[in-house]
Structure formats: C-alpha cells, structure tokens
Amino acid sequence: MKFYKLVLEYRLYLGFILLVAAIGFAFVPDWVSFTVLLIGAFVAIGSHFFFGPLRLVQDAMQSGDIEAAKKYLAMVKYPNLLFKPVRQGYYMIQSNLSMMNKDYAGAEAHLKESLKNKTDYIGKEYEGASYLQLGMLAAQKGDTKDAKANLRTALQKGLPDNDSKATAFLQLASIEISLKQFKPGKDYFRKAKALNPKAKELKQQIAEMEKYVARIPG
C-alpha cells in the first residue's frame, strides 16, 4: 500500500522519466522498449491530470491528517482537466476543508462548482448534502430566500441520514418562525422531532426550540 501511494504521489515525475527513457530507446532504435515506455509515460502523466490524487486526499482525511490532504489537493493545478466525477469530488473536498477553516465564502463557491459538475456516478444523497450546506451557509448570511430554496432542494434530492434531514427541517422551522410564519414553522419542527436525530447537538436544539414553539399561539 505504501508503494502504491508513492506511485500515486510521484507518478507525474515517473511519467516524465519514462518519456525521456522512451525517447532514448527511439535513437537506439529499440521499438519494443520505446513503445512500452511511451505507453507507460502516457498512462502515468494522463492519470495524474485526469484522475488527480483524490485517493490520497480521501485516505489523509479519513486518518485525520488535514495538512497532508491539503498538500495532495495542491497537486491539482488544472482541476478542469479532471474527469467530471473526480472533479465533483475534488470540489466537495475543497468545500469541506473551507468549512473547517470557517471560510464560508470559499465553501459556498466550491459547493457550487461541485454541483455544476454533478454526474450520475455520484449518488443523489451527496447532491442533497451539498444543497444542505448551501442552505445553512445562506441562513448564516441572513439570505432567507436562498436558504429556504436550498434546504427544500436538499430534502427533495435526498439526504443520507435522519440527522441530516432533521438539520434541514430545524433550519427551515427556524427561518419560518423568524418570519412570523408560525404554521409552516411548527410543521417543519414536528417533522424534525419525528426523525428522532441521534446527534447531541440536534437533540439540544430540538429541546430548546420545543420550549419556544410551545409558547407560540395557535
């Protein structure tokens, strides 16, 4: 596995070395070696630009090594050359890193790029999760119109678990109640509570909002 990671990390340089070696065999001439080395060079260089180091990035993030993940992402100099499914994943990871750094503007920009490059190869729940994040970011900026639109789209596209769905419903409830739209606000709150989310933070939010909702007339 370590050798495989080294190959992925340095395959661009390996590709150029193979290309130079192939050119050398062309002058010998040794056409068999030239052909084998040339194909190897094209595979190494092409896979670097078309697939990128996303496998390395994902492994680094799963192990909690954020600095390594950033280093591998920085190896992608031309993201538009990545195959579309890979490009979508690249921007999703960039968005997650921006969120960690509280760079909300950057996170929003990367999310929009990810959605722009959506494909059938990546499940709809990831698309829904992207719209959920966009909705939460819009709510933080006080843009209730975009927040509501993105949160509803997230629920329509599908979210991967009850906690994510409850987050969307709670945010919608909060927005509607802040706009004095108490009936839809209560409806969204009831939907969030019915999902019985597991996250401690969500449970606390539901408990706090329940006290407030109980005081709303009607």
Instruction: Using alpha carbons, select from 58, 121, 62, 63 the residue that is nearest to residue 90.
Output: 58
- pLDDT band of 166, cuts 50, 70, 90: very high
For 113, residues 6+ apart whose C-beta sits below 8 A from its C-beta are 91
Q: CATH assignment of 123-218?
A: 1.25.40.10
Chain segment 105-144, per-residue pLDDT in tens: 888 899 889 888 877 655 555 788 889 989 999 998 889 9
Paired tokens of 180? 């004095």
- pLDDT band of 218, cuts 50, 70, 90: low
Q: What is the mean pLDDT of residues 170-175?
A: 95
Instruction: Using alpha carbons, select from 2, 12, 107, 99 the residue that is nearest to residue 56.
Output: 2
- The verdict on pTM exceeding 0.75 is no
Q: What is the mean pLDDT of residues 38-45?
A: 94
Percent of the chain whose predicted confidence (pLDDT) is above 90: 49
Rg (CA), the chain: 24
CA distance 153 to 134: 10
- Give the pLDDT score at 85: 85
Chain segment 54-84, per-residue pLDDT in tens: 889 888 887 888 898 899 999 999 999 999 8
What are the boundaries of each domain within the chain? 123-218
